[in-house]
Amino acid sequence: MSGNDDVGLETIDDELPWGSRRTLPQGPATRLVIAWSLDEPERLGESAEVKGEMVLGRGDVDPADDRPRVRFGRARPGVTLPGPPLAEARLSRQQLLIDPLPQGRLALRSVGRCRMYVNGVETSEAEVGDGDAVLFRNALLLLVTRRPPMPALKQWSLERHPFAFGAVDPFGIVGESTASWSLRDQLAVVAGASLHVLIHGPSGAGKELAARAIHRLSPRADRPLVARNAATFTDTLIDAELFGNIKNFPNVGTPERAGLIGEADRSSLFLDEIGELPTALQAHLLRLLDRDGEYHRLGEAKPRKADVRVLAATNRDVESLKHDFLARLTARVSLPPLAQRPEDVPLIARHILEGFADRSPDLAQRFFERRHGQRAEARIMPELMAALLRHPWVLNIRELERVLWVAVSSSPGNYIGLGPETQKELLAAQERPPERGVTEAVKMATPRGELPDRERVVAALEAAKGKVAQASSALGLTSRYVLYRLMRQYGLAESNADQA
């Protein structure tokens, strides 16, 4: 990536009659995100953009400062609420000097009393970039991220769906990253359309959660969502389970069954792992997916109609679906893998640990602080959080939950640490083969003259483990710089290993 790839502000004139002068968004910015804090745990997820030479330290402006001070705040679409100065007692008033470098990297020089560790290695000077973890011993853990600005929301309304910063939103999604807010808005836009939906994303990324959010945001929310994993259908009973059957068919004594489609009339039908449904059965759904919603119960000659909205999900290459079936899933939602939004890991980890505590009073007693008679934050060691930030998360949130459970169940004291069992689990997870390799991404090469959509870009980057040059080749692009521009356009984070 060259410095020329960064996009600045640019004002343009629309030539269409309804157009007006508008400002294009800025390119990615380098930010520091609070991933762990001993004295101020409530500030998890706050971030600060690095603008030129800066100084980081405890308290407000110091007379010795000869450069602007880093100030953390709560960034959301359209607004950033500035937070107070850092109050970490172990930090010096001048702890860290920061100098910007090309390609969004930073030169760090620790000048305070608190020892600095970069990716687990003690040092006083370092060059860091996207994904690096900077720990000030027993005080503060920062994640370096390089991401596009927050999206301008088209449909999601914080006034209609309020929730506290860093908390779980009303639809179960946790995250304050650009990718998380882009996803929320994408779900809200899709929810308002009366179109069938394909939700695409890797294992453990939350496809069912996305489907339930779409349903609850839609005009059909007053009726229950009907959900089924397509991989659990019995081959000989798929038609009966989907479409239902009349009484005494196929055998005398068989009760009448409405089928999933009948149950979902005037509601939504979520079919997870739709890629596991045989192509012949995908064909059976074509008539239903058309606007008239027509289908036949087994044993019944007269067709029925159902007002059903199908929400289908898969972690497979979307091109593996039957093409005319895929074409009827007009609206598409692509879920970002956890590795593309590491700044959300501390917030999701906090939510998972709170869930453990809700189900086990013993764990809540051992590992959580109490203030004013109420349960407060978990006692998690910063070395564990730093390891979580840098893990590749092949199985996403499901894998994070497993690792945290190993850490909780194997920690001997009253804090959750990075013990041998947790290290072993993290190592074993890294050695698991990916769900699909780059060779499958090559099959997604885009026809000459066309640019790949967001889903193909996400799938290719995932398959290439974030290596932009490799992913761009798999997509059939002329150079990796074309892919960089697409990543910015689609709101995808850039990888620190993107030159390989």
Please list, in sequence order, all residues whose beta carbon lies within 8 angstroms of the beta carbon of residue 198, skipping any fewer than 6 positions away: 274, 312, 313, 314, 318, 326, 329, 331, 332, 333
Q: Is residue 401 part of a domain?
A: yes
What domain count does the chain have? 3
Q: Is residue 169 part of a domain?
A: no
pLDDT band at 292 (very low <50, low <70, confident <90, very high): confident
Amino acid 45: pLDDT = 98
Q: Give me the residues paired with residue 430 across strands.
A: none
One domain for residues 85 and 216: no
One domain for residues 404 and 263: no
Q: Is residue 160 part of a domain?
A: no
User: How far is the C-alpha of 184 from the C-alpha of 378, rounded, in Å?
Assistant: 27
One domain for residues 245 and 276: yes
- Is 59 a residue whose pLDDT tops 80? yes
Amino acid 27: pLDDT = 77
- Is 283 a residue whose pLDDT tops 90? no
- Is 10 a residue whose pLDDT tops 70? no
One domain for residues 318 and 354: no
CATH code of the domain covering residue 78: 2.60.200.20
pTM of the entire predicted model: 0.81
One domain for residues 233 and 203: yes
Q: Could you report the per-residue pLDDT of 99-113, keeping only the tens digit for each?
A: 999 999 999 999 999
Q: Is residue 493 part of a domain?
A: no
Amino acid 137: pLDDT = 96
One domain for residues 242 and 259: yes
Q: Is residue 480 part of a domain?
A: no
Closest CA to 491 of 459, 462, 458: 458
Q: Could you report the per-residue pLDDT of 182-211, keeping only the tens digit for each?
A: 999 999 999 999 899 999 999 999 999 999
Judge whether 249 and 299 are in contact, CB under 8 Å.
Answer: yes
Q: Which amino acid is at 31?
A: R
Kindly tell me the sign of the dihedral angle through the C-alpha atoms of 232, 233, 236, 237.
positive
H helices within 83-226, ranges in order? 178-191, 207-217
One domain for residues 211 and 313: yes
Average model confidence (pLDDT) across the chain: 87
**448 or 164, which is more confident:** 164
**17 or 50, which is more confident:** 50
Q: Is residue 479 part of a domain?
A: no
Q: DSSP string of 81-121? A: EE-PPP--TTS-SS-EEEEE-GGG-EEEEE-SSS-EEETTE
pLDDT band at 500 (very low <50, low <70, confident <90, very high): very low
**3-state SS string for 358-404:** HHCHHHHHHHEEEECCEEEEECECHHHHHHHHHCCCCCHHHHHHHHH
One domain for residues 41 and 83: yes
Amino acid 296: pLDDT = 84
Give backbone dihedrals phi and psi of 496, rounded to 5 degrees, phi first.
-75, -20
Give backbone dihedrals phi and psi of 270, rounded to 5 degrees, phi first.
-100, 120
Give the structural domain span for 378: 338-431
One domain for residues 186 and 311: yes
One domain for residues 327 and 183: yes
**368 or 448, which is more confident:** 368
pLDDT band at 2 (very low <50, low <70, confident <90, very high): very low
Neighbours of 390 (CB within 10 A): 16
One domain for residues 288 and 353: no
Judge whether 26 and 9 are in contact, CB under 8 Å.
Answer: yes
pLDDT band at 482 (very low <50, low <70, confident <90, very high): low
Amino acid 227: pLDDT = 95
